[in-house]
Amino acid sequence: MKKEIILLSSMLFAGFSSFAQQKQDTLRMVRLQEVQVVSTRATGKTPMAYSTVSKSEIKKQNFGQDIPFLLSLTPSLVATSDAGTGVGYTGFRVRGSDASRVNVTTNGIPLNDSESHGVYWVNMPDFASSVEDLQIQRGVGSSTNGAGAFGATLNMKTENISAKSYAEVNGSYGSFNTSKATFKVGSGLINNHWAFDARLSNIHSDGFVDRATSDLHSYFMQGGYFSGSTVVKLIAFGGKEKTYHAWYGAPKDSLNTNRTYNPAGDMGNGKFYDNQTDNYTQNHFQLILTHVFNPNLNLNAALHYTKGFGYYEEYKDSTSEANNGKALENYGLKSFDYNGNTISIRDRIQQKWLDNDFGGVVFSLNYKNDQLSATIGGGANRYVGNSFGKNMWVKDYFVVDPNYTYGQEYYRSKGDKVDANIYTKVTYQIIGGLSAYADLQYRYIDYTIKGLNDKFDWNTMGMQTLDIHKTFNFFNPKAGLFYQINKNSQAYASVAVGHREPTRSNYTDAVNSQTPTSEQLVDYEAGYTFANETFTVGANLYFMNYINQLILTGKINDVGEALTTNIPESYRAGVELMAGVKFTNWLKWDGNVTFSKNEIKNFTEFVDDWTNWPAQVTTQLETTPIAFSPNVVANSIFTANYQKLDVALQSNFVGKQYIDNSGNESRMLNKYLVNNLRLGYTFNPKGFKSIGLSLLVNNIFNAKYESNAWVYSYYEEGVRKQLDGYFPQAGTNVLANLSFKF
C-alpha cells in the first residue's frame, strides 16, 4: 500500500510539474512576444497624441473592409473608398494629411512604398485578421523606420503566435455581392519550443460604383522558435489583387442622376472595356529576433524583403485622348496616314507595369529600469523599382508599321533608393510624476531615377529622359515633458521636427519645370487626460507649422493622382477632444471631436488657359484653406455588452472639405454624417470553442455623400471651367458574418 501511495504521489507531482512547466512556457512565450516592436511605439509616459486599437476591437469590426475603415473611430481620421464599400482601393487622411504622409510599419518594418510613399491596402487584403493591435500616433510621432511622418504614424503589430492549438473558420456576405472567407489554424506550442500559425483569405465585391469589382486573395504564415529568453520568428504574408478601375470618380453633374457612374473603360456607344483592371501581387518576408538579456535589457532585430510585381491595363479612346491633348507620339508611336487623313490620335490599349524589390534590416536595443527608459535603434533599407509601359493594341496601326509587335515597351525607368536612419530615445523620471522625453533621429536618403519617363518631350521628339539623383540628410529632434498629476490625471507637452523628401511623381511630373524640394514640419503638441472607473475626458492641442509643404494643385495625372507644389508657409492647428462614460457594467459611450484650422499663407493660384496655351491665369488669393482638411471631424460609439450579446451604434461626422486650395465652395465636398449599427451574439455549444454571429448595417439612414474628389480647373475663352471626379459612398448596405472556433 505504501508503494502505491508513493507511486500515486509521484504521478501527481509529475503531472503538476508538467502543468506548471507548460504554464511557465506559455507565459514566457507570451512575454517574449510582447517585448517585440516596443522601440517605435508610444507608451503611457510618451508626450504625444496616440490611439491604440486592440485585437478584440479589430475583430468586432472585421467584416472584410480594409484597415482605414477599422480606424475610422480614432480622432482626426477620415476614411475613403474608390468603390464606395471599403473594399478594394481605400485610403485615409489624418489631420488632413493623406496616406503618403503617414508612416506605416508592420513589426517596426517600413510598409510605405519607397517611391510613392503610399500604402496600398488592396495589396494586403484581410490583413486585419492577422493583426494583434494597431497604434496610430498623430503628428510627427516618435522616431520610426521608413517614410517621414507628416500627419501620423501607424504602427501595426502582427498577432502573437498562439500557445494553444486552434482552428477558425469565418465568412461574411452582404450587399453588392461582397463576401469574405477566412481560414486560420495554429499548432500551439510544440515540445515547449516551436509554434506555427497560418491564414488564408479571399474577398470579393462588385462594389457600389459600376464595375468596381474586387477579387482579392491573401495569406499569412508564421513560425516561431522559443528558447529561454530568445524568440525567432519567420513571418510571410502577401496578397494578390485584381480590381476594376474606379479611381476616375464620377463627374459632379452625374451625382444627382447616376451616382454609380464609372467612366473607366468607356469605349463609346454604351460599351466598356472588360479588362480595365489593376493586377498586382505583393509578398512580404520578415525574420525577427528578440532576445531578453535580463529584465532591464532586450534586443529586437529583423531582416525583411518585399517583392511586388504587376500592372494596370486601360483602354484609351481617341475622344478622351484628344480632349487631353495626347497624340500617338506621347506613347512612343508615330502619326500615320489612313484613308487620306493624317491620324495623330487613335484608340489604344496600354499596360503600365511595376516590378520592385525592397529589403533591409531594422533593429533596436531597449533598456528600462524604474527611472529610465532608453532605446537605440535604426535601420538600413534599399529599394529597386522598375517602371515600364507597353502598347498592347492601337487601332489601324498596322498601316504605318505592319511589322509592329504589340506589347512593345514605350518607356522604362529604374528607381534606386537607399534609406537609412539611426535614433535614440530616452524617457527619464525627473521627480515624482514628472518625466522628460528626448528623441533624436538622423535619416539619410540617396535616390536615383534613370531611364525614360511615360511622358513625351516635344523638344527632343522622344519620351522624356529621367536623370535624377538626390541625397538628403535629415535631423529630426523631438522633446517633451509628461506629468502624472495623480492617479486619475496626466498632462504632457512636446515639440517635434520632421522632414520629408519628395515622391517619385513629384520629380517625374516636374520634368522640364521647377524641381520640388524637401518639406519641414515643426509640430507643437500639448494634452491633458482625466480618467476614473466611470468617466474619461481628454484634450490634445496641436500646431503643425510647415515650411515648403507640398500642396495639392488640383491638376491630375493619368491615374487620377493630384500634382503638388511646394508652398513656403502653411500650418495646421487644432484641438482634439475625447470623452467616455461608463453608464453601467454593460453600457458605455466613447466619442471624440476635432476642431481645426488648416491654411496656406499667401497662396498664388495658377490655372491653365487653354485658349492661349501654355499661358496660365495667375490669381493672388492670400490666405486659403488647405484642400481635404475639414475643420470638424467627430466620432461617437455607444456600446452595449449584455451577457453574450454585443451591440454598437457608430457615428462619423466630417465637415466640409475643399477639393483644391482656392477655398471656392463650387469645388467642395459637402459635410456628411454616417451612422453604422453592429450586432453580435456568441454561442458556446458542445464541440466548439465558440460560434459567433454578427451583422453590420452601414449607413443606416442612407446618407448620400462623397468622401473624396479631384478637380482640374482651366480657362477657355475667358471662362473658368473644370474637369472633376467625385467618389460617392454606398447608401444603406449590410454585411453578415458567421465564425466557428475549434
Instruction: Name the helix (H) or strand (E) containing 55.
Output: helix 55-61
Cell numbers for 214: 474586387
Return d(Cα 72, Cα 654) in angstroms, integer. 11
| Contact residues for 456 (Cβ-Cβ < 8 A; gap 6+) | 327, 329, 330, 331, 332, 462, 463, 464
Amino acid (one-letter) located at 125:
P
| Contact residues for 693 (Cβ-Cβ < 8 A; gap 6+) | 680, 681, 682, 683, 736, 737, 738
Domains of the chain: 229-741 (2.40.170.20)
- The Cβ of residue 702 has, within 10 Å, a number of other Cβ atoms equal to 10
Q: Hunting for cell 475663352 — which residue is that?
A: 717
pLDDT at 341: 85
Return d(Cα 643, Cα 365) in angstroms, integer. 44
pLDDT at 461: 84
Could you tell me whether strands 90-94 and 348-368 are parallel, antiparallel, or unpaired per DSSP bridges? unpaired
Instruction: Name the helix (H) or strand (E) containing 456.
Output: strand 434-457
pLDDT at 45: 87
pLDDT at 34: 67
Q: What is the mean pLDDT of each run of 10 residues along the chain (742 residues)?
A: 42 40 56 68 89 93 93 96 96 94 95 95 96 95 91 94 95 97 96 95 97 98 94 97 96 94 92 96 97 94 98 90 78 84 90 98 95 96 97 86 85 98 96 96 98 86 92 97 96 97 89 82 97 96 95 50 75 98 96 97 87 85 93 98 95 96 94 98 92 97 96 91 95 97 94
CA distances from 178 to 62, 107, 216, 492, 661 (A): 13, 30, 11, 44, 36
Enter the pTM of the model.
Answer: 0.92
Residue 1: burial class (beta carbons within 10 Å; 0-12, 13-18, 19+): exposed
Whether 271 contacts 347, CB under 8 Å: no
Cell numbers for 332: 512612343
Return d(Cα 68, Cα 83) in angstroms, integer. 14
Whether 579 contacts 588, CB under 8 Å: no
Whether 712 contacts 554, CB under 8 Å: yes
Q: How would DSSP label each residue in 488-507? A: SEEEEEEEEEEEEPPPHHHH
Round to the nearest angstrom and report the end-to-end CA distance of the chain. Answer: 43
Spell out the SS3 assignment of 591-654: EEEEEEEEEEEEEEEEEEECCCCCCEEEEEEEEEECCCCCCEEEEEEEEEEECCEEEEEEEEEE
pLDDT at 16: 39
pLDDT at 556: 45
CA dihedral 9, 15, 21, 24 (to 10 degrees): -100
pLDDT at 552: 66
Whether 621 contacts 570, CB under 8 Å: no
Return d(Cα 280, Cα 123) in angstroms, integer. 7
pLDDT at 455: 84
